[in-house]
C-alpha cells in the first residue's frame, strides 16, 4: 500500500502519514514479533538488526528463537511482500515514517542499573541518517528520563532536526504468547510530546485501535514508568506469595491452601499468586533492579526500596529449592543423580536469561550432584551457557535411574506425564515440585514422595482460582 499524507489541518499540525511505512530496529524476542505482526496487519515493515545471523535467519523465514505461532506469521508476512530485513540503519532511515526501537536494555555488569549502550547507539545512528519528518518510537524498557534525553540527542544529530520527534510505546507482551499479545494487547500506551506524534502513532496502530483496544496517552516519563511499574507490581505479587511460603514453612502451614483462599477474594485474584521457584527471564529481574537504581538517582530510592526485598525473596526460592532436593536426597546431593526438568525461565519459551531452573541446576551441580537437564525447547541455549551440565534428549532419558526428580519449568509435557510411567523409570520415587504444577494426590497415589516449597510433607492437590490459567505464569 502506498503512503498517503493527511493534509495539514487548520490547526497547523504537520502532516500525518495515514498508512506509515514502519521500521523495527532490533529484531530479538520483542522486535521480531512486532515487525512480523505489523506486516501481517497490513503495514510495509523493514526489520533491522546488527546481528547478521539474525537477519539471515529471518530473511530465510526462520525465527531464531522459540515463539509459538510466530514462524507461521513470519511465513505469511514474507509471502505478502510487506516484510523485509536489513542490517543498514541508513536504509531504515530512508524507508520509515515511523521507527520502532526494540533493542536490548540488559543489566549493567557490576551494577543494578540498565545498560543503555544499545538504545543510545541505535537512536544516534538511526537519527544521523533521517533527513525528513519522522517519528522515532522507543519500545525498549528504559529508566525514566531516557526518552527526554534521547529526544534532545535526536534533535541534535538528525539532519532533519526538530522534524524528527521521539515517542515512547512500552511493550507488555509475554513470551510464549507474544503474537497474541502483540495483535490483541490489553492496552496501548503512547508517550508523546505533541498532537502530531499521537496522531502518527494512532495511524501506525489503526487496526489494533479499531478493535477497541484501550489507549492511554501520556507524557514521555509517565509512559516509561508504566512499564516498570507494571513489572514491579507483578514481581511483588509473586514474591508476596513466596514470602508467605517462607512463613508457612516455619509455621507448619500450607501456602497452596493459603493462596487458594486468597485467590477467591475478588480484590486479590489468583493471577501471579502461584507459589514456587519465582520469576526470572530477560525482563522482571533486571527491570525491578534498574527501577530501584533509577529511583535512587532521582532521590526517591526509599519509595521503591521494597523492590530490593522482592528481588531477595525471589532469589532465596532458588536456594530453598536446592535445600528441598538435598533433604530428599538424604542430606547431601554429592554423587546423587538429579533429573532437572526444565531450563527455560518459563514454559513455551526457549529464553534462559536469568532462568531460575538453570540457576538451581547449576547450584546442584556445584554441590556435587550428577545433574541431567531436559527442556523441550531451551536445550541449545542452555548447553551454550551452562556447558558443564549434562543434557538428555528426552524426558524419559533425563529421569532414568534418578535419585530425585526436580520440576523447574512447568511445561505442559511435565505437568501431564503419568506419575506411574515416570515412576517406572527412576531409582527413587522422589520429586520436588518447584512450580506447584503437579497433581500431588496423583503422585502420592503412584507411590511418590513429593515436596513443594511452602507445603507440609504430605499435602495434597490444591487449586488456585484463576479466570485465565496461563496468566499465572510470570511474564514481562
Ligand atoms: N522479551 C520480552 O518479552 C519483552 C517484553 C517487553 C519489553 N521488552 C524489552 O524490549 C527490549 C528488547 O528485549 P528483547 O527480549 O527483544 O531483547 P533481545 O536481546 O532478544 O533483542 C534485542 C535485539 O537488538 C539487536 N540490536 C542491538 N543493538 C542494535 C542496534 N544498534 N541496531 C539494531 N539492532 C540492534 C540485537 O542484536 C538483538 O537482536 C528490552 O528493553 C526488553 O526489556 C522485552
What pLDDT digit, counting tens, does each position of 84-142 carry?
999 999 999 999 999 999 999 999 999 999 999 999 999 999 999 999 999 999 999 99
pLDDT of residue 11: 67
19-218 and 230-470 share one CATH topology? yes
Answer whether 88 contacts ligand 1 (Cβ < 6 A). no
pLDDT of residue 9: 56
pTM comes to 0.94
Q: Which of 23, 25, 28 to mutate to test the pocket of ligand 1 (most atoms within 8 A of CB)?
A: 28
Q: Which atom of ligand 1 is nearest to the CA of 65?
A: 20
Q: Mark the ranges of the chain whose per-residue pLDDT is less than 50.
A: 1-3, 8, 468-476
From the candidates 89, 201, 283, 328, give the one annotated as an active-site residue: 283
Centre of ligand 1 to C-alpha 282, Å, is 9
At the fourth CATH level, the homologous superfamily of domain 19-218 is NAD(P)-binding Rossmann-like Domain (3.40.50.720)
- H helices then E strands: how many in the chain? 19, 16
pLDDT of residue 464: 80
Q: Is 102 a catalytic residue?
A: no
Answer whether 171 contacts ligand 1 (Cβ < 6 A). yes
pLDDT of residue 7: 52
Nearest to 15 by CA among 259, 225, 203, 235: 203
pLDDT of residue 459: 82
> The domain 230-470: what is its CATH number?
3.40.50.720
pLDDT of residue 469: 43
Q: Ligand 1 atom 7: the closest Cα is on which residue?
A: 171
Query: Distance of CA 273 to CAs 69, 235, 342, 415, Å?
Result: 27, 10, 21, 18
Sheet of strand 449-452, all strands in order from the earlier edge strand to the far edge = 390-391, 370-374, 337-341, 404-407, 430-433, 449-452
In the chain, the N- to C-terminal Cα span, in Å, equals: 33
pLDDT of residue 2: 39
Q: Where are the domains of the chain?
A: 19-218, 230-470
Q: Ligand 1 atom 39: the closest Cα is on which residue?
A: 28
Amino acid at each position: 500500500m502506498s503512503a498517503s499524507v493527511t493534509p495539514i489541518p487548520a490547526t497547523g499540525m504537520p502532516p500525518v502519514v495515514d498508512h506509515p511505512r514502519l521500521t523495527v530496529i532490533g529484531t530479538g524476542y520483542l522486535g521480531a514479533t512486532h515487525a512480523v505482526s505489523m506486516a501481517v496487519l497490513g503495514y510495509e515493515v523493514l526489520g533491522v538488526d546488527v546481528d547478521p545471523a539474525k537477519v539471515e535467519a529471518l530473511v530465510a523465514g526462520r525465527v531464531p528463537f522459540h515463539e509459538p505461532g510466530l514462524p507461521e506469521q513470519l511465513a505469511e508476512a514474507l509471502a505478502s511482500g510487506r516484510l523485509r530485513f536489513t542490517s543498514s540503519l541508513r536504509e531504515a532511515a530512508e524507508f520509515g515514517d515511523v521507527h520502532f526501537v526494540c533493542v536490548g536494555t540488559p543489566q549493567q555488569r557490576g551494577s543494578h542499573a540498565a545498560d543503555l549502550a544499545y538504545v543510545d547507539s541505535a537512536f544516534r545512528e538511526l537519527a544521523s541518517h533521517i533527513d525528513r519528518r519522522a517519528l522515532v518510537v522507543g519500545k525498549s524498557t528504559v529508566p525514566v528520563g531516557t526518552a527526554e534525553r534521547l529526544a534532545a540527542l535526536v534533535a541534535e544529530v538528525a539532519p532533519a532536526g526538530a522534524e524528527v520527534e521521539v515517542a515512547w510505546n512500552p511493550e507488555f507482551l509475554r513470551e510464549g504468547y507474544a503474537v497474541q499479545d502483540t495483535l490483541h494487547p490489553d492496552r496501548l500506551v503512547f508517550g508523546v510530546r505533541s498532537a502530531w506524534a499521537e496522531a502518527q502513532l494512532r495511524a501506525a496502530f489503526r487496526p489494533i485501535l479499531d478493535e477497541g483496544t484501550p489507549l492511554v496517552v501520556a507524557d514521555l516519563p509517565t509512559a516509561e514508568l508504566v512499564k516498570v511499574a507494571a513489572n514491579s507490581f507483578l514481581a511483588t505479587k509473586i514474591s508476596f506469595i513466596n514470602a508467605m511460603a517462607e512463613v508457612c514453612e516455619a509455621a507448619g502451614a500450607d501456602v497452596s491452601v493459603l493462596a487458594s483462599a486468597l485467590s477467591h477474594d475478588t480484590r486479590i485474584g489468583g493471577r501471579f499468586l502461584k507459589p514456587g521457584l519465582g520469576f526470572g527471564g530477560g525482563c522482571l529481574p533486571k527491570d525491578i533492579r534498574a527501577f530501584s537504581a533509577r529511583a535512587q538517582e532521582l532521590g526517591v530510592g526509599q519509595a521503591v526500596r521494597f523492590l530490593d526485598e522482592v528481588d531477595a525473596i525471589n532469589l532465596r526460592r532458588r536456594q530453598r529449592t536446592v535445600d528441598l532436593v538435598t533433604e530428599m536426597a538424604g542430606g547431601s546431593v554429592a554423587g546423587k543423580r538429579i533429573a532437572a526438568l526444565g531450563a527455560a525461565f518459563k514454559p513455551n519459551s526457549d529464553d534462559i536469561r536469568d532462568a531460575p531452573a538453570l540457576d538451581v541446576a547449576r547450584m546442584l551441580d556445584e554441590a556435587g550432584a550428577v545433574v541431567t537437564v531436559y527442556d523441550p525447547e531451551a536445550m541449545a541455549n542452555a548447553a551454550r551457557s551452562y556447558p558443564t551440565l549434562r543434557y538428555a534428549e528426552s524426558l524419559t532419558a533425563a529421569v532414568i535411574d534418578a535419585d530425585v526428580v526436580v520440576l523447574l519449568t512447568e511445561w505442559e509435557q511435565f505437568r501431564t506425564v503419568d506419575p506411574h510411567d515416570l515412576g517406572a523409570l527412576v531409582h527413587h520415587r522422589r520429586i520436588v515440585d518447584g512450580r506447584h504444577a503437579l497433581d500431588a494426590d496423583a503422585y502420592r497415589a503412584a507411590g511418590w514422595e513429593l515436596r513443594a516449597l511452602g507445603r507440609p510433607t504430605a499435602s495434597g492437590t490444591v487449586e488456585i482460582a484463576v479466570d485465565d490459567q496461563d496468566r499465572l505464569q510470570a511474564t514481562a
